[in-house]
Structure 1
Amino acid sequence: MKILDYKSDSEILFSDLLEKVRRIGVDVLRPAANSVDREARFPQEGIDALRKEGLLSAYVPQTYGGMGLSIVELSAIAHVLGQYCANTAMIWVMHQIQVACIVHHGQSSSFFQNYLRQLVEQQSLLASITSEVGVGGDVRTSIAAVEKTDSGYTLEKRSTTLSYGEYADGFLATARRSPEAASGDQVLVLLERADTTLTLTGSWNPLGMRGTCSPAMNVSSTFNEEHIFSTSYSELSTQTMVPFSHLLWSSCWFGIATDALARARKFLQTKARQLRASSIPGDTHLVEASSQLQLMRANLHETLYEYAQMLDTMETLDDAVSDLGFTIKLNNVKVLSSQLVVQIVQQALMICGMAGYSEDSPFSVARHLRDAYSAGLMISNDRLNITNASLHLVYKER
């Protein structure tokens, strides 16, 4: 008896969209990925292709003309993009994190409502300015402060890394609420490109994720009071920025690992056909890597779907995400995903051998491995493990 698989209209539409993303990956991202990496250049063709399909407003509600996708659907897209070009995937993900901050915390303001409509129409690219010289990597602390002037407000900030800043149309920046405010009393501010000056203060020649173009920059901007989010950054970060970052970054890394394993599998299949053998050296590495990928998927998806359910009831979101158990779980997702992506790519390298080590081979995972090593540095795993260790001392398992 055949079991029919009934899908809702929305599922069918998203399936079609995901297939369109895969086609962009095949036709645009993969052919350019090596040159993006080699030249440490912005993946302009990839972002343009996503912009053309309206995917920069994927999370913007349909009320404003966006796609109104869920975080689960964003994760699926990030996973696909990560299989073709991790740089494009990470830039798209970081942009979506900024969009989510506006969607979740700005809709009560007519200014941000209009900005969302403008974002949809222009397919604007948003970047984040949370890093700062002198705070030791602690994004919940700021030295720079919002300052009131006779004509509005100003912000001067020295950023240690400003991803794709030169190519962004707008920025969400953290700062102290005022010059008199404590370092942890932060607000988030929307800086528009026309009113913002970026001054390059560092170079960009990293090991991996080279196309994100994230040098140090000094930022100077002017803006009106309506650009300042009414929600404190502490609350905004807990409810939106941290969950979106950990889950969507992990989705991107999941994509890197998926493609590395696919290359290793294809390498073994090709070798097995050549040798006319049913079992060849490297099989055990493939089995182990496959198990690790399954663990990565299960760990990510459990917390992803849990957070998605929380978003369905925004009124109680703060209580839900502030739960110590969820915080521990969320941090674990990021740490484990960033560790597993490296391990899986390393297993793929062992399977492919010199073919995986060579930059010019169709089985190369050199770029994958270099990109994967950045994962443990994006909000340091050491910092998250220290946080979780402290939380475990007071958390009671339910």
Structure 2
Amino acid sequence: MSPPLLRRARDAGLDVAARHADAVDRDARFPTEAFAALKAAGLLGAMVPRDFGGEGATLADIAAVCHELAQHCPSTGMIYAMHQIQVACVVQHGQQSAWHRTLLERLAAEQLLLASATTEAGIGGDVRSSSCAVEASGGRFRLEKNASVISYGEAADGILVTARRTPDSPASDQVIVAVLKDDCRLEQTVGWDTLGMRGTCSMGYRLSAEAGIEQILPLPYADISARTMLPTTHILWASMWLGIATDAVGRARAFVRSEARRKPGATPPGALRLAEATTMLNQMRASIVGAVRQYEEALGDADRLTSMGFAVAMNTLKVGAAQTLVRIVEQALLVCGLNGYRNDSEYSVARHLRDAHSAPLMISNDRILGNTANLLLVHKDTMGLFG
């Protein structure tokens, strides 16, 4: 019997990802070593059902892995989360298709890494609209997409691409196409020299693909997004952000303890802020656990997964987790003071702070709040204290 997922993730995180995290951040490079370790540990295909050679890991399992990895290298944790979001879409919506069943088998056997291409130049960050379209002919299709972001695109073995169903379809009538590395060509258009999350290598590309029409997922993108992509994105991102916050609070705690040992009998000045940061950390953890439970209870119920109340709950998780992460890391910085500000200190939270500020921008909090506001105009919350 293989070791538990979390133990394997901890080994890969501590032994490999942590050792290379500074270099990944400094050079804005893909965490090659960490993903070699994750592949060797069989963690990329963990969510694939056992019938297809995977481990049948639950979303809660994967969330725990994201949390663990992010404590050692946030870029590794984020890439792992984004990969598993794509895997979840294939698992939940591809099993009725022979081509996608084979893809699931390959994901487990070969530990393929999946990326996504949902954003598009000229759309303004609205992933629910596409200007590019699938052009089908004779059982094949062609696709050209000017993608403003494809994270770790050059390192990926496959990319799930959104596009209009046909050239005559409206912008919102979208499908997801799974293209493998041999099916497509990437021409970089935008670089990636950023404040944080530098190792995700989220460059822009002009993507050209040609493959068989059987590679198009059967369900419309709107349904896949509501039932799977939106909730898994918000849950796994929040879990990864919790990992950043956990490590930042851990460093602040270690600093306060060192101060207490240095001045026995006196409460260190940062102890109060540490208590406040710990409270926020526990609240953040509880919100994620609640969201995972809500999603797992709704699995298989399309009406529940596409309900306004469910969308509001998932949107609230994302916005709240992104905001809380920044506040927690800022508190940790104040606790550690100059030692937290320095890059060469064991108590440094400089990288944590830079990475944390990506959270409100990844699917803009303002955009999500705007969508939530529109939902709240017609949604009546009837939930009691315990559901």
TM-score (norm 2): 0.97
Q: How is 1:131-280 mapped onto 2 (pairs within 5 angstroms)? A: 131-150=119-138, 152-280=140-268
Match of residue 335 from structure 1: 319
Match of residue 81 from structure 1: 69
Of residues 355, 372, 375, the one that matches 1:371 is 355
The alignment partner of 1:160 has SS state of strand
For residues 343-382 of structure 1, the C-alpha deviation after alignment (integer angstroms, 9 at most, x for no partner) is: 0000000011111111111111000010110011111100
Match of residue 65 from structure 1: 53
Report how far residue 277 of structure 1 moved.
3.4
Report how far residue 298 of structure 1 moved.
1.1
For residues 318-350 of structure 1, the C-alpha deviation after alignment (integer angstroms, 9 at most, x for no partner) is: 201122121111100000000001000000000
Q: In the aligned structure 2, how far is the partner of 1:271 from the partner of 1:290?
A: 18
Match of residue 288 from structure 1: 276
Kindly provide the amino acid, as one letter, of the partner of residue 360 in structure 2. G
Of residues 324, 346, 361, the one that matches 1:362 is 346
The alignment partner of 1:161 has SS state of strand
TM-score (norm 1): 0.94
Report how far residue 17 of structure 1 moved.
2.8
Q: In the aligned structure 2, how far is the partner of 1:179 from the partner of 1:306?
A: 38
Report how far residue 272 of structure 1 moved.
1.0
The alignment partner of 1:222 has SS state of strand
Establish whether residue 345 from structure 1 lines up as the match of residue 301 from structure 2.
no
The alignment partner of 2:236 has SS state of helix
Match of residue 119 from structure 1: 107
Establish whether residue 395 from structure 1 lines up as the match of residue 379 from structure 2.
yes
Kindly provide the amino acid, as one letter, of the partner of residue 196 in structure 2. G
Report how far residue 150 of structure 1 moved.
4.7
Match of residue 6 from structure 1: none
Of residues 41, 44, 47, the one that matches 2:35 is 47
Match of residue 3 from structure 1: none
Establish whether residue 300 from structure 1 lines up as the match of residue 288 from structure 2.
yes
Kindly provide the amino acid, as one letter, of the partner of residue 29 in structure 2. R
Q: In the aligned structure 1, how far is the partner of 2:372 from the partner of 2:111?
A: 38
Q: In the aligned structure 1, how far is the partner of 2:27 from the partner of 2:225?
A: 34
Match of residue 18 from structure 1: 6
Q: In the aligned structure 1, how far is the partner of 2:223 from the partner of 2:9?
A: 33
The alignment partner of 1:55 has SS state of coil
Kindly provide the amino acid, as one letter, of the partner of residue 332 in structure 1. T
Q: In the aligned structure 2, how far is the partner of 1:270 from the partner of 1:73?
A: 34
For residues 138-174 of structure 1, the C-alpha deviation after alignment (integer angstroms, 9 at most, x for no partner) is: 0000000000235610000001111000100000000
Q: In the aligned structure 2, how far is the partner of 1:211 from the partner of 1:84?
A: 13
For residues 42-82 of structure 1, the C-alpha deviation after alignment (integer angstroms, 9 at most, x for no partner) is: 00011111000110001100111101100011111111111
Q: Percent sequence identity over matched residues?
A: 46
- Contact preservation (8 Å) 2:184, 2:210: yes
Q: In the aligned structure 2, how far is the partner of 1:320 from the partner of 1:151?
A: 35
Kindly provide the amino acid, as one letter, of the partner of residue 365 in structure 1. V
Kindly provide the amino acid, as one letter, of the partner of residue 370 in structure 2. I
Q: In the aligned structure 1, how far is the partner of 2:315 from the partner of 2:236?
A: 13
- Considering only aligned residues, what root-mean-square deviation do their CA atoms show, in Å? 1.2
Report how far residue 278 of structure 1 moved.
4.3
The alignment partner of 1:356 has SS state of helix
For residues 290-340 of structure 1, the C-alpha deviation after alignment (integer angstroms, 9 at most, x for no partner) is: 1111110111111111101222xx1x2x20112212111110000000000
Structure 2, gaps ≥5 residues long: 383-387
Q: How is 1:86-105 mapped onto 2 (pairs within 5 angstroms)? A: 86-105=74-93
Structure 1, gaps ≥5 residues long: 1-8
